[in-house]
Structure 1
Amino acid sequence: MSHDDLVTSIPANILNTQSIDFHTKDTKKVRSYSGYAHLDSTENPGTQNHLFYWFFESQTCNPHVAVADQQELISGTPLLIWLNGGPGASSLLGLFLENGPLSIGDDAAGTVSVTSNTWNQEAHVVYWDQPLGTGYSCSDAGELVKDEKALARMFWEALQKFFDKHPEYARCPLYVCGESYAGKYVPAIALEIDERNRLHEGQHLDLRGISVGNGWIKPELSLRVLIDYAYTTGFLGIGQKESLYEDYAVFQAALAERRMKRATRLGNDLVARVLACGGNFDLYDVRRWDDLPMGALRAYLDGEAVKQALHVPTDVPWQCADNAGPVAEALVKDNMADASGLYAEIVDKGYKTLLYTGNFDTACGYQSTEEILDDLMRRKGAQEHAEWRHAPRLIWTRAQGNPKGFVRRHGRLTQVSVPDSGHQVPAFQPQVCREMLYNWLFDRPFPGYDPQQQLKPADGAAGSRKS
């Protein structure tokens, strides 16, 4: 089967003096496809919207063997959708800087190399730029998405187009994964897929679960936690903390009155004030003063040879922003809305759910996720809440005994806290993060121990420890 979106090679640097071959007559390292799902606009009839994807087949599949001769293997392999957040952040950030098979150097040449920590080692992975105006995704009429429902509806249509073009992957177990503001996108998209499946609309997609890292889910909670974390780590004095609490109360009042544009402006101002009081520490890693460097990625992805290799028109610029610019402005009413109820629906419907956090993130960190899940379980009833509270919180250990993470599982829900990591966990702890994902995906154990079992008094001696 031939595809017009096949990626055969890409430039290995900005100057295009070398290339990385994917799939040529002599070299078949991996099947990779990139291009657009073209969607008819309902808002602007006669125009189209274009959502960009870049797909990598699992390395468990053999690119030298025809698809038809290994269809069972291909269909049995999980397919992961990866979405970065922002709003406005291209998912190619995730590809090149976090969990993809390629990385880009922080040098002037923008040298691209193949990585060993890629998530497509045992799963198919497709990176999507969405919503419109993000990355290479664009609209003939300059259309932008204003809420999660419209975003999810458009993304479902894009998935249908992708699987129409690539039916060989249509029966794969499907997982929607993402990070940060995708904490809103991921459950909204999953619930849209679930609804369309139930209505027997379009091609049935075998949705199995969702995974979210450091999700922006309940902003009202995350902003309170941000103030407390900055104070705890010494970036705020007690007077500053109290002053910021007063600002926070004004933000909460706007939220309670459903004045969402005002709430977003006040929330963003509050974040800026916390950072300024702390000497502008990195919001995404309290140990740093600057965010992870994007390196030469913008210059690389705006290169004509790269666009040609990825089937992107040369006049389409690569757009990438973090909670700024047209994409964020269009989602101004969505930004501070509470999306935690979507997770309750996902869990109630029995989908596998993984929420993980890097413990040095101040934007969407551990405490927010912990309290969101606790509240979610409280809503399910006293018994479910008690079972969640008393589920063992395992210390997942390395061979030497140091923790890789802290893991709690109950039913279809898994929560992992990853030490020594900021906001972008796959970038800070690539090996640990991939192992965590695969343990969750393939129901593998998290080797470790329950510290509370070790701390139980032995032989009636209070405070004694079992060795």
Structure 2
Amino acid sequence: MTLIYYIIFIFLSIFHKQLCLELTSTINDFNDPLILTPLIKKGNISYAQNAAKVKPLMGDINSYAGFFTVDKRYNSNLFFWFFPTANKNKNSPLILWLNGGPGVTSMVGLFEGHGPYYLAENGTLIYRKHNWVSDHSVIYIDNPVGTGFSFSDPEGISRTQADVAKNLYAGLVQFFELFPEYRSNSFFVAGESYAGKYVPALCYEIHMKNSKAEFKINLIGLAIASGYSDPKHMIEGIGEYYYQMGFIDQNEKVFYNNFSKIICDLIDKKLWLSAKNKMTELHFKFLDLSGFSSFYNILKYEHYSPFEKLDKFMQKDVVKKSLHVGNKTFTSYSNDVMIAMSENVMISVKPMLEILLENYRVLYYYGQLDLITSYPLAVNVFNNLNWSGSGEYKNATRKKWFVKNTLAGYSKTVKNFTEVLVRNAGHLISSDQPIRALE
């Protein structure tokens, strides 16, 4: 018996040593990105969590980062940065945040919007007082693959909303395997601008998968800031809107109305790329007529972009080492992703949204000063939704919305649906009005 025990001991020692060597190689090779999928598949959850832990870039803010393989065929991997809530409440809601573009990193939402850090112009980090992590756990994912630190072979770059949703769902399943303690938390998907298409597409994917999958994601609702979800109905009234705002005159309004009709006809004919190119032409026409270089805020005619400072910061060796991204290059905005998604830009997610409205809480909020996804154009989208609350919505009364005894905007709620106009905010609501966005 002693000999048998000795043999077993030697075998287990060798196995443990080999396992440790594998894990050490996976965790400590700083030239390679930390791909957590193999560890998760082997059930080495505690090792994976420890490997993903981020050395705080400032203070004692707790976070995790790494990659999930979402399509092995094309080496497609999504980068995530996860911040557990600072309030230590294990039941706090969990939020997935996605930026738009297509091709814009979700690190814009983290650093420019509502994460615990703010990135100053000189590249230093500043603690953000009003941040979402104070009372929520938040996952930021660079989406689609090819955006930010996320990477893929060229064949794996997403071309449709279905591609995006499939990859995000695969990443989420792995997230809940890596952090099983969050499976019962209320889960929300949120995003901004073009993520007005990503968010409904992902939520619809979750909705469909939950009807069959053994593990069901506890999706409660979705929230979309400055959402671009239904291109046709946002374009229809654009000439009248610009005219009423004083940016174009009567003759130019006629041009806009005729041109937007051409775009809508192309959408009806499913000539997606032609419609997208015409829309781009229309946008440049506005910049030429108005003298603006940005659509983001009526009060700010000069263009502002955080991409340059964000690229410099994320490419620092200390940052890349802390986030376990190895030698991967960071891209704030991916033109490759934009080109790949071009034919999908003008396709509506309205049918998905109509199903989601019957099953989940849905919030859309828009800045009063936004020129690119303007509130009146969004209302046109809402008025054209076919769901059980559509008639009630059209007759519902808008209410004043106050934050800290100050008029923050106006809201309307019907059944599961709430729409909000945020005063004194442009396209980037969290940047312009952080307290109101947090509320």
Q: TM-score range by the shorter chain?
A: 0.7 to 0.9
Q: Please, which of 306, 317, 324 is the counterpart of residue 311 of structure 1?
A: 324
Higher helix share goes to which structure?
2
The whole-number CA distance in structure 1 between the counterparts of 2:394 and 2:235 is: 24
Indicate the SS of the match to 2:144. coil
CA contact (8 A) 1:285 1:291 kept: no
CA contact (8 A) 1:267 1:336 kept: no
Q: Check 1:234–1:141 CA distance in 2 against 1; reply closer, same or farther (3 A cut).
A: closer
1:204 and 2:216 are equivalent in the alignment? yes
Displacement after TM superposition at 1:141 (Å): 4.6
Displacement after TM superposition at 1:293 (Å): 4.0
Aligned to 1:48: 75
Which residues of 2 match residues 20-419 of structure 1 at below 5 A? 20-22=58-60, 30-41=61-72, 45=73, 47-61=74-88, 73-74=89-90, 76-107=91-122, 110-141=123-154, 143-201=156-214, 203-294=215-306, 296-314=309-327, 316-321=328-333, 325-348=335-358, 350-376=359-385, 379-380=386-387, 384-398=389-403, 400=405, 402-419=406-423
Q: Please, which of 403, 423, 429 is the counterpart of residue 425 of structure 1?
A: 429
Displacement after TM superposition at 1:421 (Å): 0.4
In structure 2, give the amino acid aligned to 1:57: P
Displacement after TM superposition at 1:50 (Å): 0.9
The whole-number CA distance in structure 2 between the counterparts of 1:140 and 1:106 is: 33
Displacement after TM superposition at 1:39 (Å): 2.6
The whole-number CA distance in structure 2 between the counterparts of 1:393 and 1:301 is: 43
The whole-number CA distance in structure 1 between the counterparts of 2:181 and 2:153 is: 30
CA contact (8 A) 1:9 1:21 kept: yes
Displacement after TM superposition at 1:328 (Å): 1.2
The whole-number CA distance in structure 2 between the counterparts of 1:21 and 1:228 is: 50
The whole-number CA distance in structure 2 between the counterparts of 1:4 and 1:386 is: 52
Aligned residue-pair number: 391
In structure 2, give the amino acid aligned to 1:396: W
The whole-number CA distance in structure 2 between the counterparts of 1:429 and 1:335 is: 28
Q: Check 1:85–1:154 CA distance in 2 against 1; reply closer, same or farther (3 A cut).
A: same
Aligned to 1:69: none
The whole-number CA distance in structure 1 between the counterparts of 2:71 and 2:407 is: 50
Q: Which runs of 5+ in 1 are unaligned?
A: 11-19, 23-29, 62-72, 436-467
| TM, length-normalised to structure 2 | 0.85
CA contact (8 A) 1:38 1:51 kept: yes
Q: Check 1:5–1:285 CA distance in 2 against 1; reply closer, same or farther (3 A cut).
A: same
The whole-number CA distance in structure 1 between the counterparts of 2:321 and 2:204 is: 35
In structure 2, give the amino acid aligned to 1:387: E
The whole-number CA distance in structure 1 between the counterparts of 2:156 and 2:245 is: 42
1:9 and 2:56 are equivalent in the alignment? yes
Residue deviations 1:20-59, cap 9 Å, x none? Answer: 143xxxxxxx431011112333xxx3x4211011111111
Displacement after TM superposition at 1:329 (Å): 1.1
Displacement after TM superposition at 1:340 (Å): 1.9
CA contact (8 A) 1:87 1:328 kept: yes
The whole-number CA distance in structure 2 between the counterparts of 1:342 and 1:130 is: 20
The whole-number CA distance in structure 2 between the counterparts of 1:309 and 1:178 is: 25
Displacement after TM superposition at 1:279 (Å): 0.9
The whole-number CA distance in structure 2 between the counterparts of 1:142 and 1:105 is: 36
Indicate the SS of the match to 1:277. helix
The whole-number CA distance in structure 1 between the counterparts of 2:367 and 2:255 is: 28
CA contact (8 A) 2:295 2:372 kept: yes
In structure 2, give the amino acid aligned to 1:217: S
Indicate the SS of the match to 1:194. helix
Displacement after TM superposition at 1:345 (Å): 0.8
The whole-number CA distance in structure 2 between the counterparts of 1:433 and 1:153 is: 29
